[in-house]
Amino acid sequence: MDARAASAAPRAGRAATMTSLRGAADPEAEVGPELRRLLAEREASALTHGDEFALLWRLAGEQIADGKMLRPRMLLRLHAALSDRPDPAVSSRCSDSAAPRTVLQLACAIELLHFAFLLHDDVIDGDLQRRHAPNLIARLQDQHPAPARGTNAAARHWGCTGAILMGDLLLTEVHRIFALADLPAAVRTRMLRLLHSTISTTVAGELTDTALSDGVIADEPETVLRMTAEKTAAYSFALPLRLAVILAGRGEDLETVLATVSRALGLAYQVQDDALAMFGDGRSHGKDPCSDLREGKRTTLVAHARRTGAWEDIAPRFGAADLTEAEADAMRDRFRACGAEEFAHRLVAQQLARARAGIADAARAGLLPPPARAVLDDVVGLIDGRAS
C-alpha cells in the first residue's frame, strides 16, 4: 500500500501554531492523525492474514497513538525553522526543501522507529509497563484465553512473540517510508545512510546495555557512558535533527555540528531518565520504579555507586528478580547516600552546557539561522526542566 496515495486525507482541525511549513496548517498537530490513518490501513489489510494479525496491529496502533511524539515534533520544528532560507551552496543539488507531506510521513516514521525499539527493549528487559499503562506484551497477554493468564506461560509467550514480531513489522514500515519517500535520489540516499547508521548505533547501545546487565563485560565508567549515549542520542536526537537538515536542503557541516550536540543531549536525557527511574515519582515517570533495580541495569548511577563503599550493601540484592518494594526503597536510599543522584545531576548539567556551547558555536559560524537556534535552545530547555 502506498502512503502517498492518501495525500487528500482530512487534516486535523486544531488551530495553527506554526505556519512556516508551506501548505500545512499545523504540521505538528497532523502527526497523530497521520499515524492513526497509516496504522488503520495496516490493520485493515492485516485482516487477510487472520484476526490475530489484525488484533496485533490494532493494539500496537492504540499504543503508538498514545505517544508524546517528541521526536517527530523536533524534526518538524527544526525543518520549518531551516526551510525559510536554504543554504545557497547546497541548493544547486537539492533545489528546494522537501514537500510538507513527505516531511510529515518521515516524522511519523521516526515515531514508529521509537516504538519498534521500545517493543524489543521491553522483550529484552521483561517489562510489562510503559507510559503508566500495560505495554503491548501485557495487552496481548490480557487477550489470551487462559484462565490465569497473568501467570500463564503460554499467555506470556504470546505477549513476547507479538512484541518481537510487531517490532519487525514497524522496522519494515520505517524502512518502507524512507525508501519510498518522494525525494530527489541524492537526498534520499543521504537520508537512508543516516537511518541505517542510526539503527546500527542504537542496537549496539542496547547490546552493550545487556552485556553489562548480564555480566558479559565489566562496567567501566567509559563503557557505561558510551552505551548510555548510543542507545538514546542517535535515534532520539541525531536522527530527527539531522533529518531536518537533510530535508531542508542544508549542508553536511550543520549535520556534523548537530551530531555532536545530539550526543550531549542524548546523554543528558538518558542519565536524567535513569535518575528519574531510580529516584523520581514512579507515578509521573510511568515506568515501574523497581524494574531497573530488579533487572540490574548498569546505568551511570550504578557505575558511580560501584566505586563507593555503598556498593558492598547494594550488590547482594542488586538485580534480584524478587526484590521487594521495601528492599528497593532501602537500596534507593543507599544510592542517594553515596552521591549517585548528585553525580547524575552534575553529569546532566555538564552535557547540557556542552550542547548549549555547540549550538552557540554553530550560530556564530552562520550555520544556524535564529529561528533554528531557538528550536534547539527549546530542546535543551525541555531536558533541563524535565521532572518526569
Q: Quick check: helix, strand or coil at residue 338?
A: coil
Q: Which is nearer to a copy of itself, 161 or 308 (CB)?
A: 161
When asked if residue 135 is in the footprint of a copy of itself (CB under 8 A), the reply is: no
Q: How far is the CB of 29 from a copy of itself (least distance, A)?
A: 28
When asked if residue 266 is in the footprint of a copy of itself (CB under 8 A), the reply is: no
For a copy of itself, which residue of 49, 68, 85, 132 counts as binding (CB under 8 A)?
49
Q: How far is the CB of 199 from a copy of itself (least distance, A)?
A: 5
**C-alpha cell read off for 362:** 554553530
For a copy of itself, which residue of 144, 336, 356, 386 counts as binding (CB under 8 A)?
144
When asked if residue 150 is in the footprint of a copy of itself (CB under 8 A), the reply is: no
* Segment near a copy of itself (CB under 8 A); pick from 11-19, 33-41, 138-146, 249-257: 138-146
> In terms of Cα–Cα distance, which of 336, 149, 351 is closest to 268?
351
Q: Which is nearer to a copy of itself, 95 or 284 (CB)?
A: 95
When asked if residue 182 is in the footprint of a copy of itself (CB under 8 A), the reply is: no
Distance CA 149, CA 161 (A): 15
Q: Which is nearer to a copy of itself, 205 or 240 (CB)?
A: 205
Q: Which is nearer to a copy of itself, 77 or 190 (CB)?
A: 190
* Segment near a copy of itself (CB under 8 A); pick from 27-35, 197-205, 304-312, 336-344: 197-205
For a copy of itself, which residue of 20, 91, 129, 223 counts as binding (CB under 8 A)?
223
> In terms of Cα–Cα distance, which of 254, 145, 173 is closest to 3?
173
Q: Which is nearer to a copy of itself, 143 or 308 (CB)?
A: 143
Radius of gyration of the chain from its Cα atoms, rounded to whole angstroms = 22
CB 278 within 8 A of CB 335: yes
Distance CA 366, CA 370 (A): 10
Distance of CA 143 to the CA centre of its chain: 27
DSSP H or E segment with residue 133:
strand 133-134
**C-alpha cell read off for 60:** 500496537
Q: How far is the CB of 207 from a copy of itself (least distance, A)?
A: 5
Q: How far is the CB of 92 from a copy of itself (least distance, A)?
A: 21
CB 259 within 8 A of CB 235: no
What amino acid is encoded at 310 in this protein? A
For a copy of itself, which residue of 66, 96, 214, 329 counts as binding (CB under 8 A)?
214
When asked if residue 162 is in the footprint of a copy of itself (CB under 8 A), the reply is: yes
Task: Mark residues 86-125: x for contact with a copy of itself by CB under 8 A, - for none.
Answer: ----------------------------------x--xx-
Question: Applying CB under 8 A, what is the total number of residues that bind a copy of itself?
Answer: 57
**C-alpha cell read off for 251:** 549542508
Q: How far is the CB of 237 from a copy of itself (least distance, A)?
A: 17
Distance CA 256, CA 263 (A): 11
Q: What share of the chain is helix, strand, coil (3-state, %, to 5)?
A: 70, 0, 25
- DSSP calls for 208-277: HHHHHHTTSS---HHHHHHHHHHHHHIIIIIHHHHHHHHHTT--HHHHHHHHHHHHHHHHHHHHHHHHHH
- φ/ψ region of 132 (left if φ > 0, alpha if ψ in -120 to 50, else beta) reads left
For a copy of itself, which residue of 150, 215, 221, 309 counts as binding (CB under 8 A)?
215
Which stretches of the chain bind a copy of itself, using CB under 8 A?
46, 49-53, 56, 120, 123-124, 143-146, 154-155, 157-158, 160-162, 164-165, 167-169, 171-172, 175-176, 178-180, 185, 189, 192, 196, 199-201, 203-208, 210-211, 213-217, 223, 226-227, 230
